[in-house]
Each structure stands twice: as C-alpha cells, then as structure tokens.
Amino acid sequence: MILSDSEIKRYLKSWELKIQTSKEYDIFSQIWPASVDFRLWNTFRFYKRDSLTLIDPNIWVEQQHIETLVLDKDKPFILHPWQFVLWVTVEKIRIPYDLVARCEWRSSIWRLWVVIHSTAWYIDPWFEWTITLEITNINEVPVALWPWMRIWQFAFETLSWICEITYDKRPWSKYMNQILPETSRINKDLN
C-alpha cells in the first residue's frame, strides 16, 4: 500500500521515517498527496570521456577518470544531449524497517527529456543518507539543471512484513552512508 500525505507526515513526526533537508526548506512543504519531492544538491560527478575509453564493471574506475564539481546555488549545470551525471540529493533519508521508498520521476522534469534513475527505482528498508541520482539528458538540446531544484519524488510503500535482513545488515550493501555521488561499486559484488 502506498502511503498518503497524512501517513507520510505521521511517519515523519514519529521519527520512524527520517528525512533531513537544508535549513531553508521545510520537508513538510515538499509533501504531495502521495509523495515527497527531493532536491538536487550542489555536488555531482561524471566520467571524463577524454581520459576513459572503457568502463569494465569488474575493475574499479580510478578517481582520475571521475570529475567532481561543486556549483554555486545561482549557477546551473548544463547537461548536454546524452550526457550522464551522478548527482546527490539535498535531502538525507533513513527508511524504516516496514517501508520501501519508490523513486518516481517528476513529470515536469521528464517533459524536458531528462531521465533520472532509469533503473534503480526503489530503496530498501534501513537505507540511510543521501541518494545518488543517475541523470541522463535524452533531449536533442542541452538542459540547465540548478542546485536546489525539485527534481525527484519518493512514494513510500508498506511491506507485507518486516524484512529479515535490512540494507544496513547485508554484507554486500555498498552505498550506505554515502555523502557524495557514488560511482558504481559493482566490482564489490559477492560472486
């Protein structure tokens, strides 16, 4: 069952669901009828195409092949056609044991032909901290993305039962407590 706005507020007020945002925003103002909007932070990463000729999922991509940029609040990032970036949210989250978060595109962003998270659409119980967004411009023209713009929304669903092993307890969980946008850690998968 997807939580309504009143249930989202109840979870937030009881601290079962924890969402922290910057001081200038009230998380309750970002709640919609069945979701919560998240904003882009000012830090993102992308692979340097001029120094990287191949990404092998079994080999860690060295930091010299990854660019990290921090933007001023009043400066946009120009996302060019077919450019891919990893960007984190302003908001930090902790999902309780009995919920899963479903990542949903905001229609206003999709109408710009900007794709966010075309794969990882949900977040497991007891995932904690910032969310790395995978963003691609599939438009034919560049699109300006601004720090602190509302770009993403989360809907929350209740589980049929509390899970046995939460995200934080799995030995192969690779993205817990991330602060910066994290590149793929598929090379750390247990085989």
- Over the stretch 1-59, which tens digit does the pLDDT of each residue have? 999 999 999 999 999 999 998 888 899 999 999 999 999 999 998 888 777 777 777 77
Going from N- to C-terminal start, the domains of the chain cover: 5-54+61-184
pLDDT greater than 80 at residue 168: no
CATH architecture of 5-54+61-184: Distorted Sandwich (2.70)
SS3 24: coil
Over the chain, what is the mean pLDDT? 85
Residue pair 158/98 in contact by the 8 Å Cβ criterion: yes
Q: Answer with the residue of higher pLDDT: 68 or 172.
A: 68
- The one catalytic residue among 16, 128, 134, 182: 134
CA–CA separation, 125 vs 7, rounded Å?
Answer: 17
CA–CA separation, 134 vs 153, rounded Å?
Answer: 14
Q: Answer with the residue of higher pLDDT: 66 or 27.
A: 27
**Region 162-178: what's the mean pLDDT?**
75
Closest CA to 38 of 48, 46, 27: 27
CA–CA separation, 167 vs 127, rounded Å?
Answer: 6
pLDDT of residue 99: 92
Residue pair 180/131 in contact by the 8 Å Cβ criterion: no
pLDDT of residue 11: 96
Query: Which pLDDT band holds residue 119 (cuts at 50, 70, 90)?
Result: low
* Distant-in-sequence, close-in-space partners of 23: CB < 8 Å, separation ≥ 6: none
Q: Answer with the residue of higher pLDDT: 44 or 163.
A: 44
Which of 34-38, 113-117, 170-174 reaches the highest mean pLDDT?
Answer: 34-38
The yes-or-no answer on residue 157 being catalytic is no
Residue pair 129/90 in contact by the 8 Å Cβ criterion: no
Query: Which pLDDT band holds residue 155 (cuts at 50, 70, 90)?
Result: very high
Q: Answer with the residue of higher pLDDT: 128 or 99.
A: 99
**Region 147-153: what's the mean pLDDT?**
90
CA–CA separation, 26 vs 90, rounded Å?
Answer: 12
